[in-house]
Chains A and B, each alone.
Chain A
Amino acid sequence: MTVFLMRRFFPKVLCVAILLFGVSCSRSYRLEPLSSLIIPGSESRCAAPFVKENRQFIHSIEAVLASGGTASVIGVTNVYPKREVVHCVIMTVEGFVLFDATYDQQVHVERGIPPFESKAFAEGLMRDITLIFFRPSGELTGSAWSADGSFTCRYEMGNKTVEDVRVHPDNSWDIHQYMDERLVRSVTAGADRRDEKKNDPFMPLQLELTAYGEYGYSLHLRLIEAKRLADGNR
């Protein structure tokens, strides 16, 4: 997502960001081996972070670049997990709609105010949203307990993409997505929940998505509202 924020909003810091990323790339973010055994109950344990019912989420989103540049928007996301459909609106704090698009196996952009008008931006955004909210579409190929009580499932997508979903005893969780055994995305959810949502592990108050790559970025999402959507909506 912020690849585009960088390109459009912060062209002067782009070079600095790339340099900084070069430094960060020197760290090891390689795929670690995981037991190919599948522990009984793995699917249900690792499904906990993901949305099971139609939901609407409103987040404040803070985008932070490797260079330190930032931008803040409000995101409205309707997710329909059974059909894997997403409807997303991005607006300014003042309420102006910058972007409105739906993903239903294809991306349909209803409104895109520059610099949010490109299809590539929409596709990148939808990839980030589906990574956060939807269970990985690949095959479960391994699972394991860690010494600290965390449970990890590994899903392989068949296009050299691997996603590790790890659920911690305190309801926090994280997702690591690898391509060609190199880390490309991570999502980290804290353990904090709204008082009335203590038992909803997929509704964390804070989410952090980090993209690694030529134009690294991180998105910090703070939950403002979460509502159930009627089944008939989609």
Chain B
Amino acid sequence: MMRRRNVHLKRLFEIAVVCLTCSVFLGWTGDLKKFGEEAKAVKSLSADFVQEKNLKILVQPFVSKGVFYFKKPGSLRWEYKSPVRSVLLMHNGETRRFLEGRDGFREDQGPGMQGMQVVMGEISLWLSGNFGDNPDFEATVEDKRAIVLRPRMESLSKFISKIELLPSDRPGVIRSVVLYEGDDSYTTIRFENVRVNEDLPESLFVEK
């Protein structure tokens, strides 16, 4: 039972990171295969992001802001600047998360962190642009407007009902990603100031 729960949490966290990471790479031509080809030219990527959490309970969407860095083959820094500072680091197959508390940054020991170790494999799969081989999601293009990812397994759909990737007109850049947990709960992430193939130092992916 405990193992099954951990697997659910692990998958949930993986999905978040994979979506947030890979969605920025996509250049929109309405052709999923071409996405993969264009993604191969991207060696590194960085962007600012604005995340809005929409829930029925909330008077207004809960807004978080941060920055994001990615470098092939699998180094990631996903950092929230406000309102709660946190840093997620992936490098050389190791995943760590740091959260700012009363006594400064400390390494998070919450659920799902062990599962982050396998995220890199997922990211590699998505970056190849081969959505059809993804064991977790089925990808379709809807109205030539968005790529919609739906979980293949019912156990996963309890956590995420679907994911929408909304590309911009600029090749290699996506405007936003929307993660739907249910009818009344979804998260929108808008990317801004996207930089492609800049030289990113290794320290970005190691130091909090």
In this complex, the member of B13, B51, B55 whose beta carbon has the largest number of chain A beta carbons within 10 angstroms is B55
A224 CA to B60 CA, complexed, in Å: 13
Residues B159 and A87 in contact, CB atoms below 8 Å apart: no
A116 CA to B51 CA, complexed, in Å: 24
Residues B187 and A95 in contact, CB atoms below 8 Å apart: yes
Residues on B with C-beta less than 8 A from A56 are 57-59
In this complex, the member of B51, B111, B179 whose beta carbon has the largest number of chain A beta carbons within 10 angstroms is B111
The yes or no answer to B73 lying at the interface (CB within 8 A) is no
A67 CA to B44 CA, complexed, in Å: 40
Among B79-87, B141-149, B192-200, the stretch in contact with A = B79-87
Residues on A with C-beta less than 8 A from B83 are 60, 224
A209 CA to B27 CA, complexed, in Å: 49
What count of chain A residues pass the 8 Å CB interface test?
34
The yes or no answer to A130 lying at the interface (CB within 8 A) is no
Residues B84 and A71 in contact, CB atoms below 8 Å apart: no
A94 CA to B187 CA, complexed, in Å: 9
* A to B contact number (C-beta, < 8 Å): 87
Residues B102 and A87 in contact, CB atoms below 8 Å apart: no
Residues on B with C-beta less than 8 A from A9 are 109-111
Residues B12 and A113 in contact, CB atoms below 8 Å apart: yes
What count of chain B residues pass the 8 Å CB interface test?
35
Taking CB atoms and an 8 Å cut-off, the chain B residues in 1-30 that contact chain A are 2, 4-5, 8-9, 12-13, 16
The yes or no answer to A156 lying at the interface (CB within 8 A) is no
The yes or no answer to B134 lying at the interface (CB within 8 A) is no
Classify the secondary structure of B's interface with A: mixed
CB of B8 to closest CB in A, whole Å: 6
A94 CA to B181 CA, complexed, in Å: 13
Closest to A72 in B: B99
Residues B102 and A114 in contact, CB atoms below 8 Å apart: no
- List 30 contacting pairs A-B, 8 Å CB cutoff, sorted by A: A9-B109, A9-B111, A60-B84, A62-B99, A69-B109, A70-B106, A70-B109, A71-B108, A71-B109, A71-B110, A71-B111, A72-B99, A73-B110, A76-B55, A76-B62, A78-B57, A89-B55, A93-B86, A94-B13, A95-B179, A96-B12, A96-B159, A96-B181, A97-B181, A97-B185, A114-B4, A114-B8, A220-B101, A224-B84, A227-B59
A91 CA to B159 CA, complexed, in Å: 12
Residues on B with C-beta less than 8 A from A10 are 109
The yes or no answer to A229 lying at the interface (CB within 8 A) is yes
Residues A91 and B99 in contact, CB atoms below 8 Å apart: no
The yes or no answer to A8 lying at the interface (CB within 8 A) is yes
Binary flags per residue of A48-91, CB closer than 8 Å to B gives 1, else 0: 00000000101010100000011111101010000000010101
Residues A93 and B101 in contact, CB atoms below 8 Å apart: no
Of A8, A62, A96, which is within 8 A of B101 by CB?
A: A62
Residues B57 and A91 in contact, CB atoms below 8 Å apart: no
Of A78, A111, A114, which is within 8 A of B5 by CB?
A: A114
The yes or no answer to B53 lying at the interface (CB within 8 A) is yes
The yes or no answer to A138 lying at the interface (CB within 8 A) is no
Binary flags per residue of A1-20, CB closer than 8 Å to B gives 1, else 0: 00000001110000000000
In this complex, the member of B5, B8, B106, B110 whose beta carbon has the largest number of chain A beta carbons within 10 angstroms is B110
In this complex, the member of A69, A72, A73 whose beta carbon has the largest number of chain B beta carbons within 10 angstroms is A72
The yes or no answer to A22 lying at the interface (CB within 8 A) is no
